A and B are shown apart, each in its own frame.
Chain A
Amino acid sequence: MTPRRLLGSIAAHGLALGLALGTGLTPAAAHHSFSMFDPAKPLQFEATIQSFQWTAPHAVLWVQAGQVGAYGPGLWSLELPTSPANLAKMGWSRNVVKPGDKVVVSINPIRDGRRAGQFKKLTIVASGHVLEALNIPGQTQQPPK
Chain B
Amino acid sequence: MSRAPLFALALALALAAPAFAAPADDPITPAPTAKDWQALAQRPDWSGSWFPVISDQFAQVTSNPVPWKPEVQKQIDHWDAEEKAGRPRGLLLDCLPHGVPSFYLITHNSIEILQTPGRVTILGESDGNRLVRIWTDGRKAPADPDPSFHGYNIGTWQADTLAVSTTAILPQTWLAVSEAVGIAIGEGAHVEQKFHLIGPDTLAVDLTITAPAVLTKPWETRRLFTRKRARSYEIVEGVCRQGDFEETTDQWGNPAWSPLAQSADGNVLAPPAK
Identify the A interface with B (CB < 8 A): 28-38, 51, 53, 55-58, 60, 62, 70-72, 74-77, 79, 82-86, 88-89, 110-116, 136-144
Contacts and interface: CB of A to CB of B under 8 A. Distances in A.
Interface string B153-195: 0000000000000000000000000111000000000000000
A44 B225 CA distance: 36
Interface stretch (B52-60, B144-152, B209-217): B52-60
Given A79-B267, A110-B263, A85 B54 contact: no
Nearest to B90: A32
B122 interface: no
Nearest to B107: A30
Q: Chain B, interface size: which category? A: 35 or more
Given A33-B180, A141-B226, A74 B55 contact: no
Pick the 10 closest A-B CB pairs, nearest first: A33-B88, A33-B180, A56-B238, A30-B108, A57-B127, A32-B90, A139-B54, A55-B243, A55-B242, A115-B270
A31 B54 contact: no
Contact of A138 (B51, B87, B263): B51
B35 interface: no
B76 interface: no
Interface stretch (B19-27, B66-74, B229-237): B229-237
B109 A83 contact: yes
A31 B127 contact: yes
A51 B84 CA distance: 31
User: Is chain A's interface secondary structure helix, strand, loop, or mixed overall?
Assistant: loop
A85 B109 contact: yes
A60 B246 CA distance: 10
User: Is chain B's interface secondary structure helix, strand, loop, or mixed overall?
Assistant: loop
Interface of B: 51-56, 83-93, 95, 107-110, 125, 127-128, 178-180, 198-199, 202, 224, 226, 232-233, 235-236, 238-240, 242-243, 245-247, 263, 265-274
Contacts of A86: 108-109
Nearest to B180: A33
Contact of A141 (B55, B198, B272): B55
Contacts of B109: 30, 83, 85-86
B83 A35 contact: yes
B232 A62 contact: no
Given A33-B83, A35-B180, A56-B127, 16 more contacts: A30-B109, A31-B127, A33-B88, A35-B84, A53-B268, A56-B240, A56-B242, A57-B240, A58-B243, A72-B273, A74-B270, A76-B270, A86-B109, A137-B51, A138-B226, A144-B199
A85 B236 contact: yes
B88 A36 contact: yes
Contact of B54 (A70, A112, A136): A136
Nearest to A68: B273
B56 A143 contact: yes
A53 B54 contact: no
Given A33-B90, A33-B178, A56-B128, A138 B53 contact: yes
A36 B125 CA distance: 25
27 contacts: A29-B179, A30-B109, A31-B266, A32-B266, A32-B267, A33-B178, A35-B85, A35-B87, A36-B263, A36-B267, A38-B86, A56-B239, A71-B273, A71-B274, A75-B271, A77-B270, A79-B268, A85-B235, A86-B109, A89-B232, A112-B263, A116-B263, A116-B269, A136-B108, A138-B53, A138-B226, A140-B55
